Amino acid sequence: MTGRIVLVTGAAAGIGWATAQAFAQAGDRVLLADIDGARAEARAAELGAGHEAIAVDMSDGAQVAAMIAGIAARHGRLDVLVNNAGRIDGGTSVVDQTPEGFRSLLALNLDGSARAAQEAAALMRQQGGGAIVNVASGAALRAIPLRNGYSASKAGVVAMTRNQACAWAKDGIQVNAIAPGYTRTELVEKLIADGRVGPAKAARRIPLGRMGAPEEIAAAILHLASPDASYMAGALLVADGASHAYGGSEDANIVRGKAPTAPPPGAPVIAVGEGPVAQALAGMLRARGARVVPLAEMGRHGRLDGVLNSDPTPGQPGHLDRLFLGAQAAGRIMLGQGFGAIVNLTGIAGQIGLADTGPAGPEAAAVGMLTRTMACEWGASGIRVNALAAGLVEGDAPTLLPRVPLRRMARPAEIAAVAAFLLSSAAGFVSGGIVPVDGGLSAHGGLDFDA
C-alpha cells in the first residue's frame, strides 16, 4: 500500500468512519482510533489489509501521547491527523450543569484534540511537514440552548486551529478546521427513527433544503488535508448547507426557481472571469474534462454547472458592482435549471482591519454578505454560492508579507485549487461561506514574523 499515513480519531462511526473510508479510497493507510476498540478493529478489517485500529480514550492525555508515540515507532511518520473524536452533552441547562460534567466534555472535545495535535505536530516537524484537520461544529458559531459544554468546546477548537496554524506554518504543518452542520450520521438516523429529530423541521433551517451526508463532510476534510489547500492556514470551512449564513424569519428552504435536480450527463460547463487565478483554474478544469467558457458566454451552452465570478481589477472602484452583475446573470440561468455553483473571488481585506485599503476592504466585505444572501435565496434550487477571500498573490505589493504565517505569497494555482474544490461536487454541502485562502493572514493577531 502506498500513500500517506492518516490518523482519524473517533473513526468507528459517523463522520469519522466516512472520513476513514475517503482516505482509504484515495490510497492512504488509515489508522482508525476510537474508544470502542472492538468496533474500530471491525472497521479496519472492513477497509482491508494495511489499515489499523487503535483503542484510545482521547480524554486521557497519557493515552493520546502513547498513541502518537506508537505510530512513530511503527510507521516512522504521520502525514495527516483528523481530530474528530468528541461527544455532545445531554441537554442540560447551564444552571443544572455540574462542573464535573462540563470539564469531562471539554477534556474530550477540546483538550484531547489539543494534545493529539501537539503530539502529532512534534512528529510532523521532524519529518518536514504534515496536515491537521480539526473537526469543530456549527455549534461553535451559533449558541444552542442546553448544549453549553459542547458549544463552548467547539468554539475552543476553532480558536485552537488558528493558534496552531500560526505557530506551526513555518514548519510546513497545514492546520485548518471544518464546521459540519446538520448531518445524517448513524446517530441522527437513529434519532429520526425514534421520533426525536424531525428531518423536515431541520431542513426548514437549511437554505439547501436538506441535511448533509457524512460523505460530504468527509470529502471536505479530504480537501483540507490535501495539497490543494496548501495556502489555507487557520481557516474554518463551514459545511452546513448555508444555515450559518441565514438570518431570515421565514423558512430558509423556500424554492425560488426550479426544484433541485441533478446535472445532466456530459461535460460540465464552467464559466470563468479574467485574471491569473481564472487562467489557472481554466487550465485545471480543462484537464479534468470540463468545458470552460468566458463569463460573457455562460448562457449559450445549454447548461451552466459552475462560475468563477472574478474581476480583473480587484480593489478598484466598481469591484462590487461587477461581481454583482456576474453573479446575478449566473443565478438567473441556474434558477431555471435547478443546479449550479458560484464562487465569487474577492480579497481578504473584507475580513480583517487594515490601516487604509481605500474601497478594497469595504467592497470585499460587501461581496461576502452578497454571497451569503445569494446562497440563502437560491439554495433551495440546488445552487451553492461561496466567496473565496484571497490573500497576497504573487505580484502583489509585499507590505503585509511579514504578517503572513506561511511567510510567502500565494501562487495563482493555489487559489484556483480551492476554487475548483468549491465548484465541485466534493463541496456539495458547502454554501454561504467566505473561505479565506490567505496563508493565515486573517487568523494571525500577533506581532510581525521575523524575516
- What is the amino acid identity at position 199? P
Q: Helices (DSSP H) in 48-89: which residue ranges?
A: 61-75
Burial classification of residue 248, based on how many CB atoms lie within 10 Å of its CB (0-12 exposed, 13-18 middle, 19 or more buried): exposed
**CA nearest 435: which of 348, 337, 306, 336?**
348
Find out whether 24 and 3 touch, Cβ atoms under 8 Å: no
CA angle 137, 59, 7 (to 5 degrees): 70
Backbone φ and ψ for 125, nearest 5 degrees, come out as: -60, -40
Q: Which residues contact 278 (CB under 8 A, 6 or more apart)?
A: 272, 308, 310, 345, 416
* Catalytic positions, written as ranges: 150
Residue 387 near residue 344 (C-beta atoms within 8 A): yes
Candidates 204, 310, 183; CA nearest to 252 is 204
Which grid cell is 65?
501521547
Torsional class of 129: left (φ above 0), alpha (ψ -120 to 50), beta (otherwise) = left
Euclidean distance between CA atoms 257 and 331, whole angstroms: 10
